[in-house]
Amino acid sequence: MDIPLHHVFNYTDVDRAFWAEHLEAWVPKEIVDAHVHVTNPAFQREKPSEDRRRSFWVMEVLEPQDADSLARCYAILYPNRNVSLLGFGFPDLSYDTAGQNEYVSRQCVARGWHGLAVSDPHWTTSECERVLALPGIIGFKPYYEMIGKSDSTRDAHLESSIFDFLPHPQLELLNDRGAWVTLHVPHADRLGHPQNIREIQEIRRRYPKLLLVIAHLGRSYTEPHALEGITPLAADKGLYWDNCAVLNPAVHRIALEKIGPENILYGTDNPVFYMRGRRQWRGRSYINRTSHPFHFNKEREAPEIEAGYTLYMYEALKALKEACAGLGLARAQVEALLGGNARRLIRRVAEAKRRA
Ligand SMILES: [Zn+2]
């Protein structure tokens, strides 16, 4: 029986069978999703233009999801698991940022979750202080698109310096507070771009008390990107990473080998990863196979293959499982990776906030 999840995606018998075969025995009882987007859709003040929707596949897949819907979906997606999360709104100037941050704060308090505030690079220190004081909010989710608006693409500010959208005065405050920052790195060359490596090392040197988490393993979705980006930073044991949106078992393996399971946090990047299908890799690029007729979905697979598609978030979990098995990780390390690490760090940052 199909159960509607969110947007155009359902939970089907294929997903139930996939969970039973690959995930039921492996996924720990306690999970933390350390990277998930949640908002009230009413805060999306304008819908994206057709150009913008077609400029990047995520734009077509992404529909804002509220906390009730998220909680309902997670009870289906992670059967009989205790799931907590670190959630945040959409870092996008077509949304009401203040409204989203207050919403995330209220929902986190009501549900025992924790949240990050989508941050605006133009905020003054006192504006930042006000947002960091919101209950349940433990840090910032900055993003280069918050620098300025573009109707045609989400990449107008892709080649920015990190300090253009996470300025030094904000970093000083976040460091003082021991706050959390989940950083989506800029540049088409991804994490391995020399400016990213230099600037992340500078943040770690100058602001060692803030908790820096590199999102999507530095946007390392292919093996070459993972090797270039992860290698120069992997030895820093004070730096943390989330593995959300990574479906590539080879990338998970590189991350686990180089960074180690104690510095990696599980995340989904939902609601995007409710998408059905599978991802394939060619050198430095990937192709998303999916069964929904999205505009970007031009290279379809045979109907019998599409019929076997499960959710991307399940494929990501299976890829992570394969990498853990290949490296012979202990059960305790798997449990840390999927929940224990995030729980410990959230507790640490929440305590620092209480003391401040
Ligand atoms: Zn995200």
**Confidence (pLDDT) at 47:** 87
Q: Which residues contact 81 (CB under 8 A, 6 or more apart)?
A: 27, 28, 29, 30, 31
Ligand 1: centre distance to CA 274 (Å):
13
**Confidence (pLDDT) at 54:** 86
**Confidence (pLDDT) at 149:** 86
Q: What pTM did the predictor assign?
A: 0.96
Ligand 1: centre distance to CA 35 (Å):
6
**Confidence (pLDDT) at 61:** 86
Ligand 1: centre distance to CA 246 (Å):
12
Ligand 1: centre distance to CA 59 (Å):
12
Cα separation values, 120 from 36, 87, 94, 104, 146, Å = 19, 17, 13, 16, 6
Ligand 1: centre distance to CA 272 (Å):
9
Question: What are the structural domain ranges in the chain?
Answer: 3-355
Ligand 1: centre distance to CA 57 (Å):
14
Amino acid letter, residue 16: R
Ligand 1: centre distance to CA 141 (Å):
9
**Do 342 and 36 touch, CB atoms closer than 8 A?**
no
Ligand 1: centre distance to CA 145 (Å):
13
Distance CA 83, CA 75 (A): 8
Ligand 1: centre distance to CA 303 (Å):
30
Query: What CATH number matches the domain at 3-355, 3.30.365.10, 3.20.20.140, 3.40.50.1820, 3.30.420.40?
Result: 3.20.20.140
Residues of the chain with pLDDT under 50: none
**Confidence (pLDDT) at 49:** 83
Kind of pairing, strands 211-214 and 30-37? unpaired
